[in-house]
Amino acid sequence: MINKILIVDDSPVARRMLRTSIPKDKGFEIFEAGNGQEGIDKFKELKPDVVFMDLTMPVLDGYQATAKIREIDKNAIVIVTTADIQPKSIASVMELGAFTLLKKPAKAESIVEALNKVEMKLKKLRENK
């Protein structure tokens, strides 16, 4: 079950749009970070169930932050949210271990669908323990 969600994006507007698209009736705790390094620090502190990660950010970009988070926890679930949907970019984040990629601005239906897939994966992980 998803309890904690971390949104990592340098745009306060993008973070707010994503936050408002996440279902409110599920009781998720939602946290935010403004760049990749802050995202890594909050990941270590909070151990969220899922991370929404932008790619283009100052300090540390989403590629580097995703790689680092996956080093910290090989089962970390990172959903990349980006306007950069070039095949090379998509391939790069998937190679880094991203769970999926959503094109910005992500539609509420796409976010709900991705979260449902995360729930299924988490359930399988817990069953296999």
- Peptide bond just before 87 cis, omega within 30 deg: no
User: pLDDT tens digits, residue range 22-62?
Assistant: 999 999 999 999 999 999 999 999 999 999 999 999 999 99
CATH number at residue 15: 3.40.50.2300
Number of domains in the chain: 1
Question: What dihedral do alpha carbons 45, 32, 41, 56 form, nearest 10°?
Answer: 150
Residue 43: Cβ-neighbour burial (10 angstroms; 0-12, 13-18, 19+): buried
Q: Which of 119, 83, 104 is nearest to 17 (CA)?
A: 104
Supply the pTM of this predicted model.
Answer: 0.94
Residue 83: domain span:
4-127
